[in-house]
């Protein structure tokens, strides 16, 4: 795990500039740093290293290929690097390696197999900057599902990129370029995160998962191409479904997950796992314990408030599996002390309040290990959220209606204005006939945002309403607009899962895990995002994920069935608590009330014309009066905190 940065500019002091950018990502790579500059092109690559494989200087970056054609700065881990290395040696018996890092393997693979062929072979998480000295072409690449971040854009006409926004902020002249994107801010207030490819700054974007961007001399334009698509993967899975029975599906998924876990244990530093007490983390730890020669190190944080505490359940699971378990009960003050750090950790507005305990459990794990495995993606790939459960019941009622009729009626609902759409969905008749993907958008993504929860200015609101879902189409990169509108699947429940895997999961869940882990120099790996697991998941019938048992709808059915092979069902048979904090109480009566009140009263975003004063006051007073709208208020406060530090 590392951090990368770079720019193309012959006129700037390259060493000073890249040193400043590297300094902003030292937390991503505390072990060492380096840079490389090409005077002919003006390209400079920077790197900070968290050594995981090959702890010697042989793994230092930026790294040159053996033939000296390619230079690379890379962030991530390639879990099938040993297999790729073996294949490379078979193809070229004269090939020798300087060390044992995965960096060197994929660099030589680019030389032998080519760019896109190598990307197709790689299994792992990564953000890569690769320069072809022969063709004078820079390639930026991001992993299939978006585990590793990569920002890019033009600043004063010069191409700049980096692992985090704060890295780009350190580039000379960026301060004059820091114009807030109203489109991104509107989307943030709608979702609680800024969806890719947008960033909070105009002209600065996030490379989408599964993309490879090309920047050719004279380096004035960039062009992105997909080498892997979640939509295409899901569509292929729907067209070629798994034909075995449920037990056979369980056996196959267990085999794939075990292989993914085994591959992701590869490390030259200590490895552990998060254990929350839920289904997903318990399954990953069970499989780790199955393939490990020694007890797995597991980590849990607990809360004194029993409403939010799952530590006692995690401890019971750890004892059953025989892990080396570490738990830490954190006080309310421990949680509150994290809040001032958040705007720097995420470097743009981000408002998933589980970011607070995620940071604390990452810090706890880092005291014992350098790498962790987690159970993330179980909910989105295998249908774990309550919304899926509710819609699953509804789907059982309407699935008998011919698809063409359902599609037509759902399309009729989509043309309504947002507030009208919400009112329509509140009608039982509309619920029975409507399009499930549109219902999911209404339930999960706050379709009523343009009503009582709207805090952006009236002029921005007017522009946003032109598309009925967020911001004006003209202001949004085509890829984002296509993602929001697209529904390539015939099965509506699968379409819900796909939308979350395209948006919420990479732009919220994976952002949270990456930034919180990297803030304490901890690498987190996600076995459920293994390429083979993801591709297999899309072939599974919906009823294998969200199925009926004893007259009720069971979420994550297949994951639970596999877990019960390792952990007794009665140990897991309890309501899900999630990884949350008592934010409503904090903001209404606790320590944060004064802090929140001060930010609202003296809003910098109101002062500079981004938020509407009357709307902001209405939202805050309404929250204090009835304790509703906590998420909206938290989004406002996180945006204010971030903006004040940069204005």
What token pair was written down for 294? 């020694």
Residue 26 has what DSSP assignment? Answer: G
Of the chain, the end-to-end C-alpha distance in Å amounts to 31
Cis ω before 218 (30° cut-off from 0): yes
Strand 223-226 relative to strand 371-373, pairing: unpaired
212 is a catalytic site residue = no
Q: Which residue has 């890019």 as its token pair?
A: 152
* CB-based contact 196:179 (threshold 8 Å): no
Cα 26 → chain centroid: 21
| Among candidate residues 448, 8, 477, 508, the one with its CA nearest the CA of residue 220 | 8
Strand order across the 158-162 sheet: 32-38, 43-49, 2-8, 158-162, 151-155, 204-206
| Among candidate residues 524, 528, 479, 473, the one with its CA nearest the CA of residue 503 | 479
What token pair was written down for 582? 């008592």
* CB-based contact 62:36 (threshold 8 Å): yes
User: What is the C-alpha separation between 108 and 110, in angstroms, rounded?
Assistant: 5
* CB-based contact 471:484 (threshold 8 Å): no
Q: Which residue has 């919400």 as its token pair?
A: 422
User: What is the C-alpha separation between 560 and 282, in angstroms, rounded?
Assistant: 10
* CB-based contact 191:185 (threshold 8 Å): no
Write out the catalytic residue numbers: 2
């Amino acid at each position: 795990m590392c951090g990368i940065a770079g720019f193309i500019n012959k006129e700037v002091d390259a060493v000073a500039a890249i040193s400043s950018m590297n300094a902003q990502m030292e937390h991503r790579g505390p072990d060492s740093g380096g840079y490389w500059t090409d005077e002919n092109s003006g390209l400079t690559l920077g790197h900070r290293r968290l050594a995981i494989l090959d702890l010697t200087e042989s793994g230092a970056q930026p790294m040159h290929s053996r033939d000296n054609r390619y230079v690379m700065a890379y962030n991530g881990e390639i879990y099938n690097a040993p297999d790729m290395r073996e294949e490379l040696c078979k193809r070229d018996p004269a090939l020798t390696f300087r060390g044992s890092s995965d960096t060197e393997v994929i660099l030589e693979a680019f030389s032998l197999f080519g760019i896109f062929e190598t990307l197709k072979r790689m299994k792992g998480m990564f953000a890569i900057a690769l320069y072809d000295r022969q063709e004078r072409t820079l390639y930026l690449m991001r992993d299939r599902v978006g585990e590793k971040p990569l920002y890019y854009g033009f600043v004063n006409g010069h191409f700049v990129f980096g692992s985090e926004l704060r890295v780009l902020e350190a580039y000379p002249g960026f301060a004059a370029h820091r114009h807030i994107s109203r489109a991104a801010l509107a989307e943030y207030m709608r979702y609680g995160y800024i969806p890719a490819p947008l960033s909070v700054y105009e002209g600065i974007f996030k490379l989408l998962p599964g993309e490879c961007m090309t920047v050719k001399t004279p380096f004035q334009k960039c062009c992105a191409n997909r080498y892997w698509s979640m939509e295409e993967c899901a569509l292929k899975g729907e067209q070629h479904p798994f034909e075995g029975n449920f037990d056979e599906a369980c056996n196959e998924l267990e085999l794939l997950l075990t292989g993914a876990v085994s591959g992701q244990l590869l490390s030259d530093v200590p490895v552990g796992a998060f254990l929350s007490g839920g289904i997903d983390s318990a399954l990953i730890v069970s499989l780790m314990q199955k393939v490990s020669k020694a007890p797995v190190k597991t980590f849990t944080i607990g809360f004194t408030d029993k409403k939010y505490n799952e530590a006692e359940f995690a401890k019971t699971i750890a004892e059953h599996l025989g892990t080396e378990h570490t738990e830490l009960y954190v006080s309310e003050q421990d949680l509150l002390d994290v809040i001032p750090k958040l705007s720097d950790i995420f470097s743009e507005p981000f408002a998933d309040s589980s970011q607070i305990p995620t940071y604390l459990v990452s810090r706890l794990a880092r005291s014992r290990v350098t790498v962790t495995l987690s159970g993330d993606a179980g909910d989105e790939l295998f249908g774990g959220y309550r919304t899926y459960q509710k819609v699953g019941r509804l789907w059982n009622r309407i699935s008998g209606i011919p698809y063409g009729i359902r599609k037509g009626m759902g399309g009729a609902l989509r043309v309504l204005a947002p507030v009208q759409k919400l009112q329509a969905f509140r009608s039982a008749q509309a619920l029975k006939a409507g399009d499930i993907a549109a219902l999911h958008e209404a339930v999960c993504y706050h379709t009523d945002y343009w009503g009582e929860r709207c805090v952006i200015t009236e002029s921005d609101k007017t522009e946003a309403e032109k598309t009925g879902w967020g911001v004006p189409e003209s202001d949004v990169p085509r890829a984002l607009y296509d993602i929001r509108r697209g529904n390539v699947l015939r099965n509506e429940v699968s379409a819900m899962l796909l939308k979350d895997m395209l948006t919420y999961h990479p732009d919220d869940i994976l952002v949270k895990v990456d930034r919180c882990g990297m803030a304490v120099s901890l690498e987190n790996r996600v076995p459920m995002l293994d390429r083979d697991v993801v591709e297999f998941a899309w072939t599974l019938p919906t009823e294998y994920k969200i199925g009926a048992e004893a007259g009720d709808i069971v979420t994550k059915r297949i994951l639970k069935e596999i877990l019960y092979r390792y952990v007794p069902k009665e140990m897991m048979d309890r309501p899900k608590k999630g990884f949350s904090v008592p934010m409503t109480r904090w903001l209404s009566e606790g320590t944060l009330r004064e802090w929140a009140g001060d930010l609202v009263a003296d809003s910098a975003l109101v002062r500079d014309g981004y938020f509407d004063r009357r709307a902001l006051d209405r939202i805050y007073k309404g929250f204090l009066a009835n304790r509703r709208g906590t998420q909206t208020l938290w989004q406002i406060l996180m945006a204010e905190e971030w903006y004040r530090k940069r204005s």
